[in-house]
Structure formats: structure tokens, C-alpha cells
Amino acid sequence: MPRTRDETTALIPTDQRQVVLVEGEEVLAVRVAQDIYLPLNPLCEALGITPHGQVARIRRDEVMAERLQAVRLETPGGPQVMQCLHLEAVPLWLAGLEPSRVKSEVRPRLVTFKRWVRQKVWEAFAAEIGWSQRVTTPASATDAALLSLEQVAELGRALTTLAEQQLAYQQDQTAAMLAVRGTLSDHEQRLVVQEERMDRAAQVMGATIREVRALKDRLDPGNVITDEQAAELQETIKAIAEELTRQSAGSGQQKNYYASLFSELHRRFRVSTYKNLSIEKYERAMAWLRDYDAALGRSQHASLEGPG
């Protein structure tokens, strides 16, 4: 039987081991020279998801696809070639997994993997590779994005705790005010003023928490555009298509510019429908359309490909 391309190009690891995370969880990791990879099959099986679907999702992502490699592993049944993801790309892949698609009984395992897999695997191989100290800054844009999300989440939790403490304090003050009402008018007045201040503080805190949560949602690479953003994109394409139709009037061309623009959008940003655009791709798509629209004002013969 002829060998597949993966079999002929598979990397040969210099080390292979089970790494213990926390709470008894383990992951299989391999080292190829100075690089560390995690096989996807055992990771997906531990989370109750389909490896084939995850490999396809990784290959659709330009960043993660570059860090996907076929590696020859030693298994109880003999050598086997598996798709493995570079350690630095694993946090991005885990961040894109929706908890709702993971079996409820293994969701705590997903949380453990997200929090510990990079650090513990890194530590397991640090001595062999010659890393003398733990990296304290993100090693890639992927880690930086994930760190930003974690920091925003921590800030949100801290603000929530502070708001709860403020509200509890307000309730204590209100109870004290009721206890002295009718006997200490000056004290009552101070409590009323303080209660009003606490109300305002609670309102400000609530607004801050909502803004932080909105920021976290906006930074999350797994989120897709909102209905309002989808409508804005659709209206922008409609306006450009109408202008193209107007400029081509009398030329004998009968082209559906509206459909052609959507087709070009799907091709450029690798989505089956514009409603599946991520937040990051949405900003790039709108920038492309704005450039296209500006080009129409300078040229009477704009092509479908547009600028860029």
C-alpha cells in the first residue's frame, strides 16, 4: 500500500511523554528538536469531541494552520502518524471551543486544559530544551490575545465582587438608618445622603461591569458579528452594488453586482455566509468595502475585484 503524504513528511520526535496537569489530568506531548507538540486525537477524546472536525477547523484558521504538523508517535499498536498542534497554538484552539458543544461531564476538564496545559507542558520539557526560567510575557500574538481575555475576565470578576460588597454595605446602612429614624434627625439626614451616594456608586459600578463584559465579548476571537453589524455590512454592499450598476448603465453589461460582491466577500474572508464573520474579520471586511467605495468615486470603470 503506497504511503500517504503525512506518512512521508511526518516529523520524528526526540521525546514523547505524558504530562500531568492538575487534578490528575494528563496530556500526551512530544518534543521535536526545540518545538513541542500536542497530538489532537487524545485531546479531543478527553473532551468528547470529534478529532476530524477539529483538524478541519484548525486548517481553516491561517494562524493555527501554520502550527499543525503530522508527527510519528509510538503507540501500543506500533508507530502511528497523528496530527499535532504546536504548544503555542494550543491556547488559541482551546479558546475557540464552545463549552456548549463539549459534554457537560467533561466541561471542568476543558477549563483545566485552558488554564494549565501550556504552563505544565512547558515546565515538563524546560530542562531538556535548556529553558532556565519561565517566560513571563506572551510568546506570541495568540498568547497575548488569550492573556488579554483572561485579564478582562479577572477585572470583570473583581468589579462584580466590589459591587456586591457595596450593595451589602448599603443594605447595612439602610437598616441602621431605620433603627434611628425618629430619634436622631441629624444622623438620619447623614444616612439619607450616604444612601443616595451608594445608589449612585452602585449604578456606576453596574455600568462599568456591563462595559467590561462587552469588551470581553468583543475581544473573544470566537465571537461572530452581531445582527446590527451584519445589517451594516449588507447595506454597504447594497450601496456599492447600486453604484456599480449605475456606472455600467449603457455599457451593455448585465451583471448582478450584489451577488458578485457577496461572493467575493466569502472568498476573501473564507466564510460560507457573511453572518459567520468573526469580529476581527468584520473590521477587515468593512475596511475593504470602504476602500472599494472610495475607488468608485475616482474611477468610472471599477472592477469587481476592487482595491487590494
In a domain, 306, yes or no: no
- Give yes or no: residues 280 and 235 share one domain: yes
In a domain, 308, yes or no: no
Domain that holds residue 32: 5-132
- Give yes or no: residues 185 and 250 share one domain: no
Instruction: Identify the CATH number of the domain in which residue 20 sits.
Output: 3.10.260
In a domain, 294, yes or no: yes
pLDDT, residue 278, reads 87
Neighbours of 148 (CB within 10 A): 15
pLDDT tens for 20-74 read 988 788 899 999 988 999 999 999 988 888 899 999 999 999 889 999 999 999 9
In a domain, 267, yes or no: yes
In a domain, 105, yes or no: yes
Residues 6+ apart with CB under 8 A from 243: 293, 296
Distances, alpha carbon 75 to alpha carbons 40, 72, 79, in Å: 14, 9, 6
In a domain, 304, yes or no: no
In a domain, 191, yes or no: yes
pLDDT tens for 116-140 read 888 889 888 887 777 654 444 444 4
**Amino acid occupying residue 256:** N
pLDDT, residue 258, reads 87
Report how far residue 188's alpha carbon sits from residue 174's, in angstroms, rounded to the nearest whole number.
Answer: 10
**What's the structural domain count of the chain?**
3
- Give yes or no: residues 12 and 123 share one domain: yes
In a domain, 168, yes or no: yes
Q: Indicate the pLDDT class of residue 217, thresholds 50, 70 and 90.
A: low
Bridge-based pairing of strands 68-75 and 78-86 is antiparallel
Q: Sheet of 26-32: strands edge to edge? A: 15-20, 26-32, 35-39, 78-86, 68-75
